[in-house]
A and B are shown apart, each in its own frame.
Chain A
Amino acid sequence: MDQSTEHTVVCRGVSKVYRQDAVAVPALTDVALEIPKQDFVCLSGPSGSGKTTLLNLIGGLDRPTSGEISVDGRRIDLMDKGELAELRLRRIGFVFQAYNLIPVLSARENVEFVMQLQGVSAAERAARARAILKEVGLEGLEDRRPGELSGGQQQRVAVARAIVSEPSLVLADEPTANLDSKTAENLMQLLRHMNTEHSVTFVFSTHDKLVMDFSRRLITLRDGRIVDDVRRE
């Protein structure tokens, strides 16, 4: 059996080099990685180690300079812009550090956004959005806009939006960076719950020890290379 079909993410020899003027700046060098389905993985390392770059490459937001990346058995490094957009829409959810939500839409509309792009009917969208917002503890706040929600509540909306359309993979870049420790812990418990209940694979990039403590697998990067890969069952 092809290894890529057993894993949500497979990276082989992935390198990324940025160009700043005429200078080549390597961000990732020859990264090899396999993330099984329903894993809960944390990418850690100091600033500039390449964890956000790796997350962006896995999410199809950026392209590798060389190497292969597969998500759900499909080579995303060979996809065009339209195919990548379709992949992100159907199979990948994102939670960013900030600027996560669309400011002119309410919490419910933000959660419905992806489903609306997917062409899900209005009635089904509304039902699923209410259910997931209830699950993340935001019942009664559905019609508030992001500016009327706290940072933790906004991140919960982002999590709800990321998983409502049942993707196989959720990528979260520093999801707790702007949250206090109590809110951050609540958020991570929620993500673990989603991981377990919805069978979704989670990959985080973080500096936060709390996030690392919640992960089942901790991958450490330094200078664009994986220097440690520990499973913490």
Chain B
Amino acid sequence: MRAFSLPLLLTLAWRNLWRHSGRTFAILFALALGVWSMVSIAALVRGSLEQQLTKAIENLTGHIQIHAPGYRDDPAIEHRMPPPGPALRAALARPEVTAWAGRVRVPAVVASERESAGVTLVGIEPARERGLSFIAKAVTAGRYLESADEPGLLLGRKLAERLETELGRRVVVMSQGVDNDIADRGFRVVGVFDTTPEATETNFVFVGRATAQRMLQLGDGISEIALMTPERNRLEPMLSELESVAPGLDVQPWTRLEPMLVLTETVTDTILIIWYTIVFVAMSFGLVNTLLMAVFERTREFGLFQALGMPPRHILGQVLMESLILLLVALAGGNLMAWATIAGLEGGIDLSAFAQGLEMVGVSPVIYPAFAVSDAAAANSLVFVLGLAASLYPAWRAARYVPVEAITRV
């Protein structure tokens, strides 16, 4: 059996493509546009999802949280835990943990002279929260808390509006102490923070952790430990380590703490696959139609090839080679266009004029495209492999002509 004469097939395929340059440019443009839309839209969707995930993780969730058993079902003061012991501290000091902090986190009521609201009181160690949560970066008026003994309080802007209070004014925070009596304390508002989603501004007030512990008579007890790692999708080793050094505690990754985000990620992946499929089907119709036209126009030529002794598999190879060239050029063009688009949108797309409700659900109105190699690889592989597969039909049509019929075809 003779091997493929690759240079011959390549020459024939390339020159045949340019016999109808207008048609070739049209299909190349359509294919490249499809690839561009796949990669660019995937980057936008992925960017939006990435922002949601980052935001949710910064909004006090972290990558892993540790609680006393029962706290997640009933986040009350009864479900407190002692500060981390030596073994847990050693685990938290490992380089795999980029930041960690213990918090007091209990339900409370905050009242101004005019209004009151139910909130979650969060006692924090201000220095440790940097790099762990959004709080330090979100203060837009006044100042951030200075220490765990800080007597001041941070209030969200929306909550401040609702309470009709402002920076420098005093508010009273009430909660249940360890003895089941009402514990209360007055705080001066030292900082106001702005963040998304809006619920974060209305649901949380932040005070120094030691101040909160004194108010609630908690001693050195805490409600939770939150920590960050370098890679949010590789938590298993750290989870195992923490579970082994804190056997009586409830150690949970963000994926279980925020199941809606995991669902959003799954739905996003599914939507991208559906989008890829729709675009590919439209592209493949164009590709197959172009190749079929080329095959029908060249019926006599294929008959001549066969008469001259070209085996049918070479003819199959020639049509597939044309498809291969179209796909490779279109993939290169489409990816280049997508790269230019993503690079051009590095500063983000501001959709606030069109989607004012986005912030309510934690989606930033400014979307920053995030190029994911896996998304681009999936789009490119899909177009390349299925594009070639779709080209098999016209190639097979060309290869099965009977020479004498093809040559005499008018």
Q: Which residues of A contact B (CB under 8 A)?
A: 56, 59, 61-62, 81-82, 85-90, 92, 94, 96, 99-100, 102-105, 109, 113-114, 116-119, 161
Complex contact A86–B309 (CB within 8 A): yes
Please pick, from B7, B300, B310, the residue contacting A99 in the complex, using a CB distance under 8 A.
Answer: B300
Q: What residues of chain B lie closer than 8 Å to A109, measured between beta carbons?
A: 11
Q: Are A89 and B308 neighbours in the complex by a CB distance under 8 Å?
A: yes
- From B3, B301, B309, A85 is in contact (CB under 8 Å) with B309
Instruction: Say whether B5 contacts A94, CB under 8 Å.
Output: no
CB of B206, distance to nearest CB on chain A (Å): 74
- Cα distance A117–B309 in the bound complex, in angstroms: 8
**B309 & A61 in contact (Cβ 8 Å cutoff):** no
B306 on interface, CB distance cutoff 8 Å:
yes
User: CB distance A99 to B314 under 8 Å?
Assistant: no
Give the contact stretch, choosing among B12-20, B83-91, B333-341, B361-369. B12-20
| Cβ-defined partner of B8 (8 Å) among A59, A90, A117 | A117
With A59-B307, A85-B310, A85-B311 given, is the CB distance from A119 to B407 under 8 Å? no
Other A-B pairs beyond A61-B404, A119-B3, 12, CB < 8 Å: A59-B307, A85-B312, A88-B307, A89-B310, A94-B308, A99-B300, A99-B407, A103-B19, A104-B15, A109-B11, A113-B8, A117-B2
List B residues 1-60 near A (Cβ within 8 Å): 2-3, 5, 7-8, 11-12, 15-16, 19
Name the CB-closest residue of A to B312.
Answer: A81
Considering the chains assembled together, what is the distance between the CA atoms of A99 and B312 in angstroms?
A: 19
B403 CB-CB contact with A under 8 Å: yes
Residue B279 at the chain A interface, CB threshold 8 Å: no
Name the B residues within 8 Å of A88 (CB-CB). 306-309
Please measure, in the bound complex, the distance between the C-alpha atom of A1 and the C-alpha atom of B8, giving whole angstroms: 42
B199 at interface by CB-CB < 8 Å: no
> How far, in whole Å, are A117 and B8 apart by their CA atoms in the complex?
8
Q: Interface digits, B284-302 against A, CB 8 Å rule (1 contact, 0 not)? A: 0000000000000000110
Among A86, A94, A104, A119, find the residue whose CB has the most chain B CB atoms closer than 10 A.
A104
A61 pairs with B301, CB closer than 8 A: no
Residues of A within 8 A of B300 (CB): 99
Inside 8 A of B407's CB, which chain A residues have their CB?
A: 61, 96, 99
**Are A102 and B304 neighbours in the complex by a CB distance under 8 Å?**
yes
| A116→B305 CA distance, assembly (Å) | 12
Q: Which of B388-410 contact A (CB under 8 A)?
A: 402-404, 407
* Interchain residue pairs with CB less than 8 A apart (9): A85-B312, A90-B309, A94-B308, A102-B12, A102-B304, A102-B305, A104-B19, A105-B15, A116-B8
Is the pair B301, A102 in contact by a Cβ cutoff of 8 Å? yes
Give 6 closest A-B pairs by Cβ, nearest first.
A89-B309, A104-B15, A88-B309, A61-B404, A62-B404, A61-B403
Contact of B5 among A103, A119, A161 (CB under 8 A): A119
Which residues B93-137 have CB closer than 8 A to chain A?
Answer: none
Q: How far is the CA of A81 from the CA of B402 in the complex (A)?
A: 10
* Chain A residue at minimum C-beta to C-beta distance from B17: A104
Residues of A within 8 A of B314 (CB): 117
Closest residue of chain A to B1 (Cβ to Cβ) is A82
Of all chain A residues, which has the CB nearest B400? A81
Q: Are B15 and A82 in contact (CB under 8 A)?
A: no
Q: Specify which chain A residues have a CB less than 8 angstroms from the CB of B305 in the assembled complex.
A: 102
| Residue of B3, B307, B309 most packed against chain A (CB within 10 A) | B309
Closest residue of chain B to A100 (Cβ to Cβ) is B304
Q: Bound complex: CA of A68 vs CA of B12, how far in Å? A: 36
Chain A residues positioned under 8 Å from B307 (CB to CB): 59, 61, 88, 94, 96
Report how far A59 CA is from B407 CA in the complex, Å. 13
Kindly report which residue of chain B lies nearest to residue A57, judged by CB atoms.
B404
**Chain B residue nearest in CB terms to A81:** B312
Report chain B residues within 8 Å CB of A116: 5, 7-8
Cα A113 to Cα B403 with chains together (Å): 17
Bound-state CA distance A223–B66 (Å) is: 98
Q: Which residue of B lies closest to A162 (CB)?
A: B308
Query: Which of A56, A103, A119 sits near B404, CB closer than 8 Å?
Result: A56
In the complex, which residue of chain A has the Cβ closest to the Cβ of B406?
Answer: A61
Q: Across the interface, which residues of A come within 8 angstroms of B12, CB to CB?
A: 102, 104-105
Question: Max chain B CB contacts within 10 Å: which of A87, A92, A94?
Answer: A94
Alpha-carbon distance A62/B404, docked complex (angstroms): 6
CB contacts (< 8 Å) of B312 on chain A: these are 81, 85
- For A62, the chain B residues whose CB sits under 8 A away are 402-404
Contact residues in A for B5 (Cβ distance below 8 Å)? 116-117, 119
Contacts of B19 in A (CB 8 A): 103-104
Cross-chain contact of A117 among B308, B403, B404 (Cβ < 8 A)? B308
The interface residues of chain A lying within 8 Å CB-to-CB of B304 are 96, 99-100, 102
